[in-house]
Amino acid sequence: PEAFEEAVGALGICEKDRIVVYDDQGLFSAARVWWTLRAMGAENVAVLDGGLPKWLAEGRLVSDAPPSPHAKCFSATFAAHRVADSRRVKAAIASGSETVLDARPSGRFSGAEAEPRAGLRSGRMPCAKSVPSGSLVGPDGRLKPREELRAIFDAAGVSVEHPVITTCGSGVTAAIISLALEALGHGPHALYDGSWAEWGLKGNNPEDFPVEAGEA
């Protein structure tokens, strides 16, 4: 937390500020920044709907001047409940206490497509459900309307009341699922920060990090 406090404070951000996050793709890495800030105790954080592309399309003001922030004191409070590690994922798989949702494309989830990173196995965690992050975002780069999001989660068998752990390839697009769950007012949800980059390592003991493949 100390390194995070120093880095974010240097950007002129305080945990009590109203923080709006965006990226240049509509909705991609902004969701991860939103989740990280929330995990470090900032509560008043939002993602700009449609990101920079929508902002530009609407003819809104932009600047190319280099930012010159005044440093602030960011006081981090680590929200451990928002972050899942491999032990928590294993417990969820064994007990069914939390539903694991995988944001990777369906081909990688089933194991039909190889992982883009070297040294990783193909497939998914046992009992995981597929909710590709791209299915939650419209062609305009905006999160889909709530009724469409609800239909997607319903089709995946996700109960509104049941706690969720989100995962993906490296912990980025899982945050898009987390953002969608938040938009729906879903109950507790955490993000598996290690994601497939940790779980899918070829050097892992397959009994400790089991992998399934094929249609779920």
Q: What is the pLDDT of residues 98-138, one digit of tens each?
A: 999 999 999 999 999 999 999 999 999 999 999 999 999 99
Domain-located, residue 65: no
Does one domain contain both 194 and 87? yes
70 to each of 11, 61, 169, 211, how far by Cα in Å? 7, 22, 35, 48
- What is residue 77's predicted lDDT score, i.e. its pLDDT? 97
Query: Residue range 78-103: average pLDDT?
Result: 97
Query: Residue range 5-25: average pLDDT?
Result: 97
Domain-located, residue 63: no
Does one domain contain both 179 and 119? yes
Does one domain contain both 98 and 37? no
Out of 14, 73, 127, 168, which one is annotated catalytic? 168
Query: Domain of 176?
Result: 81-199
Domain-located, residue 170: yes
Does one domain contain both 92 and 195? yes
Does one domain contain both 113 and 175? yes
Does one domain contain both 96 and 189? yes
Domain-located, residue 205: no
Does one domain contain both 40 and 119? no
Does one domain contain both 86 and 188? yes
Does one domain contain both 12 and 116? no
Say what the pTM is: 0.96
Q: Residue 73: phi, psi to the nearest 5?
A: -95, 110
User: Are 178 and 147 within 8 A, CB to CB?
Assistant: no
- A 10 A CB-CB count for 215 gives 9
How large a percentage of the chain has pLDDT more than 70?
100
Confidence of residue 176 (pLDDT cuts 50, 70, 90): very high
Confidence of residue 216 (pLDDT cuts 50, 70, 90): confident
Domain-located, residue 129: yes
Confidence of residue 35 (pLDDT cuts 50, 70, 90): very high
Confidence of residue 187 (pLDDT cuts 50, 70, 90): confident
Tokens linked to 207: 């009994």
CA distance 79 to 34: 13
Confidence of residue 1 (pLDDT cuts 50, 70, 90): confident
**Is 168 among the catalytic positions?**
yes
Domain-located, residue 33: yes
Q: How many domains does the chain have?
A: 2
Domain-located, residue 90: yes
Does one domain contain both 91 and 171? yes
- What is residue 160's predicted lDDT score, i.e. its pLDDT? 82
Query: Residue range 71-83: average pLDDT?
Result: 96
CATH code of the domain containing 163: 3.40.250.10
Domain-located, residue 208: no
Does one domain contain both 98 and 178? yes
